Amino acid sequence: MPPTTIPVKSRHVAVVGAGAAGLVAARELRRDGHSVVVFESGNEVGGTWVYTPHVEPDPLGLDPKRPIVHSSLYSSLRTNLPREVMGFMDFPFVTRPDESRDPRRFPGHREVLLYLKDFAREFGVEEMVRFDTEVVKVRISESGKWNVQSKKTTCFSNENEHKSKVEFDDEIYDAVVVCNGHYTEPRIAEIPGINSWPGKQMHSHNYRTPEPFRDQVVILIGSSSSAVDICREVATVAKEVHVASRSVADETYTKQPGYDNLWLHSMIDNARDDGTVVFRNGKLVLADVIMHCTGYKYHFPFLDTKGIVTVDDNRLGPLYKHVFPPALTPYLSFIGIPWKIVPFPLFEFQSKWVAGVLSGRITLPSQKEMMEDINSFYSMLEAAGIPKRYTHCIGESQFEYNNWIAAQCGCQGVEKWRKPMYSAASVNRRLRPETYRDEWEDHDVVLEAYEDFVEHTS
């Protein structure tokens, strides 16, 4: 639907989270004339990209009462996407002329954090953020507005002691935009017999460095970018590393080229109380550790929608185009739910859409039409045999999705070079998992991107 010419409304909006999604949401909301408060439980912006060596006390992340460590980054992590593709549309992620910065095309995690901090500074986002303030409850109030309860923790320390003060706040907002990220709550593989298996289990959320695995026999489950990185890193110190993947044939058993202690197997069949693990290919391994690199769950412990929005087998719904729950539209929205995507630009498009809808510049279809759209999307997934948990995996269709949102907003869509660069990086990553971050062939597309960046960097 094209933007309308009706007078715009200014709303009081709470944004939950100051990661990449919350930062761009705050910028777009303010650009559209809304008053914005961003709640951030940490003490700096950047979300996932704020690396910490700390891990959670429950290595599998099953205890709902455990103290939460938000970031899942490991120390050696370099991006799995080229920086040109990763950046926001109007704030390119280019190399900075500063020796302390990482100039590589696939930089280390610190460079991404510094980029997000540059973004926050450039657009004055930090002044909207309440740090060390966790949103503990979001619910619809009697007036039909949103009640946001938050908890601010202030720490004091002197030579002798550390103290903290906790203050609770209860406020009313017209709208809430949820940007709390979805790489913190581990998903675990189900393994028959695991309860009597005597070894150690953990999730990659709590992996930081390879050293604890020296001389150990490690089984790693998964085949995502993180799994590909971690298994190779662990293999530099471990006695043996065995990767179990559900995306290979049952008979698979191959040694990874270039390694004498790294094997690829089909999925685990069962684990036994004598410490052995049996794979579907029939191999038996006596292992010390099983590391689940099996992804994460959507998790909104603070959100009370009286059952209107639920998470079922990692499907968050019902959501119109992964953003708006029809019955609560437009006063509740979610930024950053899709996965297998280029996150920052997608967040930017979604944020423009939410800001424009809240101000009344952009009209959504009726509740009934949105529900029909969601139901036909679910039917399409079912007919194609796509499991529920893949509802928000949009992969290749992300560019079409972004352009569709851009058309709703009446703004420019995805640049011509972004999709071919993303595709080239994906192919390169698959073909050269060891070296894709330092060797590539899409030089012409890189040039095209930099020609585009001139508009925003000069």
Q: Are 149 and 169 in contact (CB under 8 A)?
A: yes
What part of residues 51-110 is at the interface with ligand FAD (CB under 6 A)? 70, 72-73, 79-81, 86
In this structure, what token pair is assigned to residue 111? Answer: 């460079």
Beta carbon of residue 2, minimum distance to ligand FAD (angstroms, whole number): 29
Q: Which residues contact 24 (CB under 8 A, 6 or more apart)?
A: 88, 119, 335, 344, 347, 348, 351
Closest CA to 45 of 115, 111, 127, 126: 126
Among 84, 102, 134, 269, binds ligand FAD (CB under 6 A): 134
Q: Which stretch binds ligand FAD (CB under 6 A): 1-9, 36-44, 258-266, 310-318?
A: 36-44
Bridge partners of 150?
Answer: 135, 169
Question: Going residue by residue from 286 to 305, which x/- string records binding to ligand FAD, judged by CB under 6 A?
Answer: ----------------x---
Our finding on whether 244 is near ligand FAD (CB under 6 A) is no
Whose structure tokens read 């192919």? 427
Phi/psi of residue 334, nearest 5 degrees: -130, 130
- List Cβ neighbours of 308 (8 Å cut-off, separation of 6 or more): 325, 327, 328
The minimum distance between CB 242 and ligand FAD, in angstroms, equals 21
CA 146 from centroid of its chain's CA atoms: 25
Q: How many CB atoms lie within 10 A of CB 98?
A: 8
Nearer CB in complex with ligand FAD: 272/299: 299
28, 32, 49, 92: which one contacts ligand FAD (CB under 6 A)?
Answer: 49
Asked if 267 and 246 touch (Cβ cutoff 8 Å), the reply is yes
Decide if 325 contacts 337 (C-beta within 8 A): no
Give the number of other Cβ atoms within 10 Å of residue 245's Cβ.
Answer: 16
x/- track of binding to ligand FAD for residues 147-186 (CB under 6 A): --------------------------------xxx-x---
- d(Cα 409, Cα 49) in Å, to the nearest integer? 29
Q: Residue for token digits 């006596």?
A: 286
Instruction: Measure the CA–CA gap between 373 and 379, rounded to whole angstroms.
Output: 10
Residue with smaller CB distance to ligand FAD, 159 or 439: 439
**Smallest distance, ligand FAD to C-beta of residue 383, A:** 30
A 10 A CB-CB count for 67 gives: 9
Interface pattern 343-372 for ligand FAD (x via CB under 6 A): x-----------------------------
Alpha carbon 155 to its chain's center: 29
CB of 9 to ligand FAD, least distance (A): 26
Out of 147, 201, 223, 226, the residue judged to bind ligand FAD by CB under 6 A: 226
Q: Which residue type does 161 have? A: E
Question: Does 229 sit near ligand FAD (CB under 6 A)?
Answer: no
Output 16 or 277, the one with its CB closest to ligand FAD.
Answer: 16
| CB-nearer residue toward ligand FAD: 9 or 121 | 121
Closest distance to ligand FAD from the beta carbon of 260 (Å): 27
CB of 87 to ligand FAD, least distance (A): 9
Q: Collapsing DSSP states into helix, strand and coil, what is residue 310?
A: strand
- The smaller minimum CB distance to ligand FAD, of residues 318 and 336, is found at 336
User: Interacting stretch for ligand FAD, rule CB under 6 A, among 47-55, 195-203, 416-424, 447-455?
Assistant: 47-55
**What is the per-residue binding string for ligand FAD in 2-31, x denoting contact by CB under 6 A?**
--------------xxxxxxx---------
Identity of the residue numbered 242? H
Residues 6+ apart with CB under 8 A from 437: 78, 79, 80, 104, 105, 106
Q: How far is the CB of 44 from ligand FAD (least distance, A)?
A: 8
The CA distance from 23 to 31, in Å, is: 12
Q: Nearest approach, Cβ of 288 to ligand FAD (angstroms)?
A: 23
How many residues at the interface with ligand FAD, by CB under 6 A? 31
**What residues line the site for ligand FAD (CB under 6 A)?**
16-22, 39-42, 47-49, 70, 72-73, 79-81, 86, 134-135, 179-181, 183, 226, 302, 336, 343
